[in-house]
Amino acid sequence: MSILGAGIFKGMAVTLKNFVGSYFDKDRLTTNDYSWRPDDKLPQNAGEYPKEEGEQLSDTTTVTKYSRNFPMLLHDGGEPMDTVRCVACQICERECPPQCIYIEKDYDENGKYIKRPAVFDIDVSVCMSCQICVEVCPFDAIVMNSQFELSTPNRFGGLLLRRDDLLKSNDYYHQIHPEEASARDQKMAEEKAAKEAKKKAAAESAKKRAEEKAKAEAEAKAKDEAGGKTEDTE
Amino acid sequence: MTQEITFWVLAIIAVLGALVAVRRRNLIHGVFALMIFFAALAGLFLLLLAEFIAAVQILVYIGAVGILLLFAIMLTERVTGDDGRRVTARGWFWGLVAAVSVFIFLLLPAIQEADLPESAQSIQPSVKALGHKLMNPYVVTLEVLALLLAASLIGAVAAAQGVREKKEGTNDA
Amino acid sequence: MNLDLIKDILVATVPLLIIFPSLFAFTTWLERKALARIQNRIGPNKVGIPCTRISLFGLGQPAADGIKMIFKEDIVPRGADRLFHLLAPILALIPAMLVLCFLPLDFSFFAFWDEGIAEDIKAVQSFALDGAVIFFFAITGLNTLAIFMAGWASRNKYSLLGGMRAIAQMVSYEIPLVLSAVIVVMYVGSLNAEKIVLAQDTLWFVFTPWGLAAFVIFFIAALAETNRSPFDLPEAESEIIAGYFTEYSGFKFALFFLGEYIAMFAISGLAVVLFLGGSLGPGVTVELVDGAKELESAFAGLPIIWLLAKIFALIAVMIWLRGTLPRLRVDQLMAFAWKFLLPLSILNILVAGFAYFIPQENIGPKVAVWTVSLGILYAAAKGLNSLNRADVKPREYKYAE
């Protein structure tokens, strides 16, 4: 039995801690990393906006490892489209509440479905950063990026991120969210190990069954021959 | 002297408010003019040093009855009165005769027979005296009014919920 | 017209008109900075003294905002009711400033400046109406009219709907507000604000069990009356733009804003007078002068300092709650008023009534009565809470797996 209104008081304690802490602990102010510098100068990139089409500034060095903004697709190094984890299963497209993801599957020359997305668009002007797509992805292919300088002078498509804009490597993911990335890698390794173990166990049991079947057949054949021989002599 | 001026100002505001409320085509304007009338009445009560009555007049009439009227008007059509429909009734002459005769035969004798004290200072209605009177001689009236209000509240809730249809059979466990 | 009357009018109104708008400006700055710090960012810190580069933590921001709002274009939608569009902000501001008269403000600190003025002010400020508390509630009810006017005059169906919802919210929360003030009036036996303050000389009403429950109910209902978070559905800034005052720009919006904050001050002032002892505090005591109780203070100006300090404490709690709690949905809001606060406040009146008539001369019965009433009120609150509990299930995904 909890005290009536305990949740409200706990919430108020958290906000009080935030209020008092923001005076002493400058790391809390995630978006204001320059206003308290002693010489009051802005860092290199702040205030510069992309002047050409397609240019995006990287600004992820100024936020903490807890900040999230919009999703990105992961690949495991090398040529992005060779090691991309996304298989275009379209689960995130269906679960997205504002329906901001658009996916098209990739087919090879014969028309067979390859496990890659041909088109993967996210409209970040619609995305509400709810992270449902991250939660439901069965392949750990989509995670949250923390890049926030996304402003563009292009009104009509500047905020539609295409597949190639969204592909980022796993090393970059480790750089911006180290704890979460290592947790995710560990989970994937465990799942893979479990799958390998299961496959090996299945292979072993299959082999054992095959051996037993072979032995049984051999015995049956031996009995047959023995029986046949006796039949012959009759 | 200031009391007389205040009385005349408030009385003129009251009468003008009532006239606008009755004659205005736009219903919302009419209701707000009616509320100006109520406010002027509250001012007149204050002149008579009846503070509690003035406060209750504002609280009940403007704060409750006025809002109720506005909600009721929301449910009607043609609220702004922009169409060119005829407003004055055909029998306006006999209506005027009826109103003037009510004034002459009922209100004027009542006004002339009323016995008013010299100034408002000698009557000092206080909330305590009001409370005492409500509890001692008029407690039955109070309880009957409370029952009436409770009945109307229950009726309003019942009317708002609508008629419930009896469901037959299907009872999901 | 004799000059004395004009002087009396000026002396009664001008201090209020100077002090409270400047407090309003300070409060907007305080709210923006406090909310920002709670949300891990810094509030406005660039505007200080105008035309210089001195930024005194952004204290010039309210002035900059005021100047901006005055110079904005005043847009009235085509087809809107121009008269009501103009009157609505004025009607929103007038009740808020009018009820400030009913608080027992003591401007005797003017004695520092001129003895004569202090005497005049004292003569006029004994404005203590015998029905101050009920006038307060009557005039606060006029806010609903202003909101309806604002919603109607905008010729915007969403504004009208927002206005209707706002009126429904304010009318529903007026009942627990008044019922919890009734307890204090019952104990004191008078509606006079000064007498209520004087009756709290031994113990503030908030320290009694029924007084504490009444204070909590009053505070929650006051948050809802002034459309403050978490009850700010009518003006949910990130969701419906501005609800019933979407179509107001420039100075009219500034008037609405001013009216809302001054209503916050006024209701906090009433809460302080009713429950937190008004101007009482260390240095301000109640003495018996000629058989009648009167307020004596260590130096002139201390009572109003205490009153303003307590009002600011309540406003700080309001800002704190705004930074903490999410917004209530409209059905949750109405259910909270009618199914939780109303039964609890009626039960509170019953409990307070019983406790008033049980003789509590010795410490034993007093402790017993207090613990029993505290227990009854807490159990009732928990019971009503569990009756109204909505069932929420964890989120399930239809398309995954």
The CA distance from A162 to the nearest CA of chain C, in Å, is: 23
Of A11, A2, A10, nearest to C378 by C-alpha is A2
Work out the average pLDDT over C358-368: 80
**Cβ-Cβ contacts under 8 Å for C370 (sequence gap 6 or more):** C208, C209, C355
- Tell me the ipTM for this assembly: 0.82
- Please tell me the predicted confidence (pLDDT) of residue A38: 42
From the list A14, A32, A135, the residue facing C41 with the nearest CB is A32
Domains of chain A, by residue range, sit at 7-59, 60-176, 177-228
Q: What's the mean per-residue pLDDT of chain C?
A: 82
From the list C5, C145, C191, the residue facing B35 with the nearest CB is C145
Residues of chain C with Cβ-Cβ distance to A29 below 8 Å are 40-42
Please state the three-class secondary structure of B86-135 as a single string.
CCCCCCHHHHHHHHHHHHHHHHHHHHHHCCCCCCHHHCCCCHHHHHHHHH
Please tell me whether the peptide bond between C230 and the residue prior to it is cis, using omega within 30 degrees of 0.
yes
Task: Please judge whether B67 and C164 are an interchain contact, meaning their C-beta atoms are less than 8 angstroms apart.
Answer: no
- B10 band by pLDDT with thresholds 50, 70 and 90: very high
For Cα atoms C184, C188, C191, give the angle at the middle one, nearest 5 degrees. 80
Task: Please judge whether B28 and C171 are an interchain contact, meaning their C-beta atoms are less than 8 angstroms apart.
Answer: no
Task: Please judge whether C167 and B67 are an interchain contact, meaning their C-beta atoms are less than 8 angstroms apart.
Answer: yes
Domains of chain B, by residue range, sit at 2-81+92-123, 138-173
CATH for B2-81+92-123, options being 3.30.1130.10, 3.40.640.10, 1.20.120.1200, 3.20.20.450: 1.20.120.1200
Mutation for testing the C interface, residue in A2, A9, A15 having most C CBs under 10 Å: A15
Where is average pLDDT lowest: A208-217, C157-166, C231-240, C324-333? C231-240
Give dist(CA A6, CA A9) in Å, integer.
Answer: 5
First to last CA, chain B: 79
Structure tokens at C171: 């009318």
The DSSP symbol for A171 reads H
Residues of chain A with Cβ-Cβ distance to C39 below 8 Å are 18
Tell me which chain C residue has its CA closest to the CA of residue A91.
C400
10 Å CB burial of residue C167 (0-12, 13-18, 19+) is buried
- Please tell me the predicted confidence (pLDDT) of residue C363: 81
Residues of chain C with Cβ-Cβ distance to B29 below 8 Å are 83
Task: Please judge whether B62 and C141 are an interchain contact, meaning their C-beta atoms are less than 8 angstroms apart.
Answer: yes
The CA distance from C291 to the nearest CA of chain B, in Å, is: 21
Of A147, A171, A173, A174, nearest to A161 by C-alpha is A147
Contact C306, C284 (CB under 8 A): yes
pLDDT digits (tens, 9 = 90+) for B81-135: 666 666 666 788 888 899 899 888 888 887 787 766 655 555 566 778 888 888 8
From first to last of its 234 residues, chain A has per-residue pLDDT tens of 567 778 888 989 988 988 888 888 766 666 655 444 444 444 444 445 555 554 444 554 456 677 788 999 999 888 888 888 999 999 999 999 999 999 999 888 888 888 889 999 999 989 999 999 999 999 889 999 887 777 777 788 888 998 888 888 888 888 888 888 889 999 989 999 999 999 999 999 988 898 888 888 888 888 877 765 555 554
- Please tell me the predicted confidence (pLDDT) of residue B171: 42
Mutation for testing the A interface, residue in C212, C324, C389 having most A CBs under 10 Å: C324
Do B and C have ≥3 inter-chain CB pairs under 8 A? yes
- Please tell me the predicted confidence (pLDDT) of residue B32: 92
C40 Cβ under 8 Å from any chain A Cβ: yes
Task: Please judge whether B59 and C84 are an interchain contact, meaning their C-beta atoms are less than 8 angstroms apart.
Answer: no
From the list B28, B55, B126, the residue facing C152 with the nearest CB is B28
Domain A60-176: assigned CATH number? 3.30.70.3270
Task: Please judge whether C400 and A11 are an interchain contact, meaning their C-beta atoms are less than 8 angstroms apart.
Answer: no
Task: Please judge whether C134 and B66 are an interchain contact, meaning their C-beta atoms are less than 8 angstroms apart.
Answer: no
Instruction: Say how many CB pairs under 8 Å bridge B and C.
Output: 61
